[in-house]
Amino acid sequence: MTFVDGPVRVTVPATSANLGPGFDALGLALELRDDLEAEVTPGGLAIEVSGFGEDEVPLDERHLVVRAMRATFDRLAVTPPGLRLTCKNVIPHARGLGSSSAAIVAGVWLARELVAGGRLLLDDTALLDLAAQIEGHPDNVAPALLGGFVIAGQDPDGSFYAVPGSVDPRISTVVFVPTTPVSTEAARGLLPAEVPHGDAAANAGRAALLVAALDSRPEQLLRATEDRLHQQYRRPAMPESLALVEALREDGLPAVVSGAGPTVLAFADGVGTTTTAGLLRRCPDGWEAHALAISSVGAAPVVEPR
């Protein structure tokens, strides 16, 4: 088995998972994309990072993209003599916008493309399964790989699945990004082992409604994004985020904690009820607000030179 000549390059979108009631199941790809390039070299490991994570992430085998690449090479039973990796990161780290999933998806995608005939040996279904194994759950890696709105989960045999859903073209998002990060591990550590049956039942109904609301009923987004399963339990780690979610929702604006937080995502429905401009004006002092389209494209190759 041989490697391709020259570098390969990919862009991977940010993602927002959980989406209120869709804990560990629903995810959206957002039009904010990291840009990565990798090449097989005669030897050694060289990593260059700009943007988010610059001067913070390890520049050795501990780098998450490299770890994902190594796992993919192992799956393909190949070992490159050396690697060069360049990362241009625009997805904020530890903010609930899928930066780790983007890194994992980029790594598995780049490694597959660096192997001649890699797509014949590892299709997108296998690539998703590998990425989800590395991440631990599929609701962020699935939209990062496939784009759009994805319903994802894990079967009893341990395999992962991802089913694309449709999104009404009127729907877009605004994300409110605080300056203080929250790790996914810390946020998950606040979740209880059990929840009341009534809360689980309510969330199941709201999650089903959210699929319909995103498909063609944006006027149902406020009701459909109600959550009883995870957001309130995370309040100690991100009180300002939960306060913003509540303030927006009290005004009839569909808002949720993005992923594990602390970013807040609000839906603009395009029907006059919730406008992008109105949402942007609700950004708290010191935070950043970004109007982001839902990206129909997941991990995608880039062929032109940098």
Confidence of residue 185 (pLDDT cuts 50, 70, 90): confident
**Do 143 and 180 belong to one domain?**
no
Confidence of residue 305 (pLDDT cuts 50, 70, 90): low
Judge whether 266 lies within some domain: yes
pLDDT of residue 275: 81
Q: Tell me which residue range forms the domain holding 142.
A: 8-165+295-301
Judge whether 263 lies within some domain: yes
Residue range 194-198: mean pLDDT, rounded: 92
pLDDT of residue 270: 65
**Do 111 and 234 belong to one domain?**
no
**Do 49 and 161 belong to one domain?**
yes
Confidence of residue 217 (pLDDT cuts 50, 70, 90): very high
Residue 16 contacts by C-beta under 8 Å, 6 or more apart in sequence? 27, 28, 30, 96, 97, 98, 173, 175, 258, 259, 263, 265
**Do 21 and 143 belong to one domain?**
yes
Residue 269 contacts by C-beta under 8 Å, 6 or more apart in sequence? 170, 171, 218, 219, 221, 254
**Do 15 and 148 belong to one domain?**
yes
**Is the per-residue pLDDT at 150 higher than 80?**
yes
pLDDT of residue 122: 95
**Do 112 and 261 belong to one domain?**
no
| Better-predicted residue by pLDDT, 55 or 109 | 109
Judge whether 3 lies within some domain: no
Number of domains in the chain: 2
Residue range 88-106: mean pLDDT, rounded: 96
pLDDT, tens digit (0-9, with 9 covering 90-100), for 124-142? 999 999 999 999 989 999 9
pLDDT of residue 183: 83
**Do 64 and 94 belong to one domain?**
yes
- The share of the chain scoring above pLDDT 90, in percent, equals 87
Judge whether 2 lies within some domain: no
**Do 138 and 234 belong to one domain?**
no
Q: Which residues are annotated as a binding site?
A: 92-102
CATH no. for residue 241? 3.30.70.890
CB 52 within 8 A of CB 98: no
pLDDT, tens digit (0-9, with 9 covering 90-100), for 41-51? 999 999 999 99
Q: Which residues are annotated as a binding site for ATP?
A: 92-102
pLDDT of residue 115: 97
pLDDT of residue 272: 57
**Do 156 and 12 belong to one domain?**
yes
pLDDT, tens digit (0-9, with 9 covering 90-100), for 17-31? 999 999 999 999 999
**Do 232 and 248 belong to one domain?**
yes
CATH no. for residue 151? 3.30.230.10
pLDDT of residue 303: 72
CB 209 within 8 A of CB 223: yes
**Do 149 and 190 belong to one domain?**
no
**Is the per-residue pLDDT at 37 higher than 90?**
yes
Structure tokens at 192: 């209880």
Confidence of residue 304 (pLDDT cuts 50, 70, 90): low
Q: How far apart are CA 165 and CA 219, in angstroms?
A: 18
Judge whether 1 lies within some domain: no
Average of per-residue pLDDT values in the chain: 94
Residue range 8-16: mean pLDDT, rounded: 98
Judge whether 256 lies within some domain: yes
**Do 161 and 176 belong to one domain?**
no
